[in-house]
Amino acid sequence: MLSIREKIKSTEFTLKATKTNYYPTFSLESYYLRSGNHPDMDRDGWNLGIKFNFPLYNGNLTNYQINEILANIANLKYTEQVLMQSIKNEIETAFYNLQEASEKYNISAKILKQAEENYEIAKGRYNAGLSTPIELSDAEIELEKGRLNRISSKYDYLISEALLKKAIGELDE
């Protein structure tokens, strides 16, 4: 983003410099000349001049250059807008993904608690001889699924949090 802004500034400076081609320029020239091999016969000479250059017509070259620069500036500004929208969309998506991951993490806590309670009930029923080993095994499987879901949802949350931080510029790649 900063790179595009710097390119825009640079191109605007180039535009200002190109517009100066419409104005006359002047330069100051000076020469010193010394000739001869003998000190008594040496000749010295100074020459001083001012040179003015008035641009009368250059085949509309300056106009074409200015139009090209203006098109470049417009293109850079459009690119900047597209990039800004892309960053905004990335931040919004990361934010909503973080909210969703947070909700899943909270729900996984409730599911795990329910699975633990179901396991304790199934274990009590099995110890009392009121259920089969398959029922206890099913409760153990659901408990492990609940634990795995809790761990998975925690990492999903942490990943979503890191992606949001990256999107807002708090985290380097």
- Confirm if 34 and 42 have CB atoms less than 8 A apart: yes
Which CATH number goes with the domain that contains 132? 1.20.1600.10
Contacts of 148-151 with C-beta under 8 Å, sequence gap 24+, read 149/108, 149/111, 149/112, 150/105, 150/108, 150/109, 150/111, 150/112
Domain that holds residue 145: 2-23+59-167
Domain count, the chain: 1
Q: Is residue 173 part of a domain?
A: no
Average pLDDT over residues 105-126: 96
Residues with Cβ within 8 Å of residue 52, at least 6 apart in sequence? 24, 25, 26
Q: Is residue 155 very low, low, confident or very high in pLDDT (cuts 50, 70, 90)? A: very high
Burial group, residue 33, by CB count within 10 angstroms (0-12, 13-18, 19+): exposed
Residue 102 falls inside a structural domain: yes
Q: To the nearest 10°, the Cα dihedral for 108, 109, 115, 116?
A: 160
In a domain, 75, yes or no: yes
Residue 49 belongs to some domain of the structure: no
**Domain-embedded: residue 42:** no
Q: Evaluate whether residue 46 is within a structural domain.
A: no
Tell me whether residue 82 is in a domain: yes
* 29 falls within a domain: no
Instruction: State pLDDT tens for residues 67-115.
Output: 999 999 999 999 999 999 999 999 999 999 999 999 999 999 999 999 9
